[in-house]
Amino acid sequence: MALKSYTTNDWQIREDRFWVNFFNTLSGVRSSVLIGTSSEIGIHNLAIFNSLVHLGANPPLLGFILRPTTVPRGTYENILKTKEYTINHISEKMVDAAHQTSAKYAEDESEFKAVGLTPQLSEQGKAPFVAESPIKMRLTFQEEHLVMNGTRLIVGEVQEVLLNDALLEEDGSIKVANEHLIASSGLYHYHTFQFSKKKDYAKP
Amino acid sequence: MALKSYTTNDWQIREDRFWVNFFNTLSGVRSSVLIGTSSEIGIHNLAIFNSLVHLGANPPLLGFILRPTTVPRGTYENILKTKEYTINHISEKMVDAAHQTSAKYAEDESEFKAVGLTPQLSEQGKAPFVAESPIKMRLTFQEEHLVMNGTRLIVGEVQEVLLNDALLEEDGSIKVANEHLIASSGLYHYHTFQFSKKKDYAKP
């Protein structure tokens, strides 16, 4: 298999959109999730993100990337003001509605209603869960890191997790493949995935 | 479907390992990749990471998370000293070898040889690619961000990408599913994935 080499010279001479798609998909697949927030006056905001990263288990920290050009600013503003948000995994049957949250709706319009998903309120927080999501969690904002290109790493601590407990293995692992979640690459491509194998802790 | 709620009270009273696995798998699937580096005296290092995030297309920036407890320190030290590294996607037939790089080998031992993968040198840099990888890239280190729990976000700029150009769509998107890459959740679970659908830019 002869691979072709692309270098900085290539992405300086072709049209921008080509390389935006190229680099958006280059990092492979990852989970797509819906982030739910509430404004101070109670308007529910929902936006799709595909940049979730595990940061640590004790305390349980998750990060996600806010990109300045593509991001609905409502999510960021609500997180800074209310200090909380929900992260909701997306199953196959939710894909079309979830993708539709990336459209630019007016600030006083809730994406839940616009795309046909159901806000589910928690007893503890103001940020809404997505009722249709099979695995979801509520986080409190902890810190943010500004990256050189203007993107931000948003760090939150998990306060509550909602899932079907039949998904749990004895060792605590969650069988995520059992919920028919989707994995995205870039902003437009969605994939299904299946469990293949579990490996042991590796020793030399 | 009645979901069970787990809260901070739960993860303070059960044994640690359970919650480490729980939170490692909670974020769903993501690409697993092999990061290749070279020490100053030319020993090749290879380590598996599952925390790749897209940060931007212009300039092309990718990030990954170095966790203080699980990470082979060789990768981090080599990146700081040589300022370069490769990121290599993992196909299904490479999974066992790729997972085995997570074993703690001696500092003067190359994981390439230990696990049976082939270093492939670039004309431009010292960091080795993985010959068996179907999609791979060379990056230069740009900056790092220290997160509250001691993990680091490492930011690099893509300098070169090697792939089969038959993977490219007209708009620049890479058909990553065509290379039978794997997606992991947590440190032990591997999944296969298939392309499902491509959506359009969403409008209200």
Q: How confident is the model at residue B70 (pLDDT cuts 50, 70, 90)?
A: low
pLDDT of residue A70: 55
Give the residue on A whose Cα is nearest the Cα of B176.
A28
ipTM score for this prediction: 0.95
Question: pLDDT tens-digit profile of B127-169?
Answer: 999 999 999 999 999 999 999 999 999 999 999 999 999 999 9
Residues 6+ apart with CB under 8 A from B73: none
Whole-number average pLDDT of chain B: 94
Residues 6+ apart with CB under 8 A from A41: none
Most A CBs within 10 Å, among B27, B46, B55, B69, to test the A interface: B27
Q: Going residue by residue through chain A (204 aa), what tens digit of pLDDT does each one get?
A: 689 999 999 998 777 899 999 999 999 999 999 999 999 999 999 999 999 999 999 999 999 999 875 555 789 999 999 999 999 999 999 999 999 999 999 888 899 999 999 999 988 889 999 999 999 999 999 999 999 999 999 999 999 999 999 999 999 999 999 999 999 999 999 999 999 999 999 999
Inter-residue contact B191 to A180 (CB < 8 Å): no
pLDDT of residue B1: 61
Inter-residue contact B188 to B24 (CB < 8 Å): no
Please report the domains of chain A, with CATH numbers, ordered by start residue. 29-192 (2.30.110.10)
C-alpha span between B88 and A190 (Å, rounded)? 22
Give the residue on A whose Cα is nearest the Cα of B124.
A7
- Distance to chain A for B175, nearest Cα, Å: 8
Nearest by CB to A27, from B26, B31, B150: name it.
Answer: B31
Nearest by CB to B24, from A57, A136, A177: name it.
Answer: A57
Q: How confident is the model at residue B69 (pLDDT cuts 50, 70, 90)?
A: low
The string of DSSP letters for chain A reads -PPEEEEHHHHHHS-HHHHHHHHHHHT--EE-EEEEEE-TT--EEEEEE---EEEEETTEEEEEEEPTTTS-HHHHHHHHHH-EEEEEE-BGGGHHHHHHTTS---TTS-HHHHHT--EE--SS-SSPEETT-SSEEEEEEEEEEE-TTS-EEEEEEEEEEEE-GGGB-TTS-B-GGGGTBEEEETTTEEEEEEEEEEPPPP--
pLDDT of residue B87: 98
pLDDT of residue A179: 96
Nearest by CB to A53, from B53, B174, B188: name it.
Answer: B53
pLDDT of residue A72: 58
pLDDT of residue A29: 96
Nearest by CB to B103, from A52, A191, A204: name it.
Answer: A204
C-alpha span between B63 and B147 (Å, rounded)? 13
What values do phi and psi take at A51, rounded to 5?
-130, 35
Query: Cβ contact (<8 Å) for A3 and B101?
Result: no
pLDDT of residue B12: 87
pLDDT of residue A92: 96
- Distance to chain A for B116, nearest Cα, Å: 13
Most A CBs within 10 Å, among B15, B33, B51, B53, to test the A interface: B53
C-alpha span between A32 and A50 (Å, rounded)? 4
Question: pLDDT tens-digit profile of B72-129?
Answer: 578 999 999 999 999 999 999 999 999 999 999 988 889 999 999 999 998 888 999 9
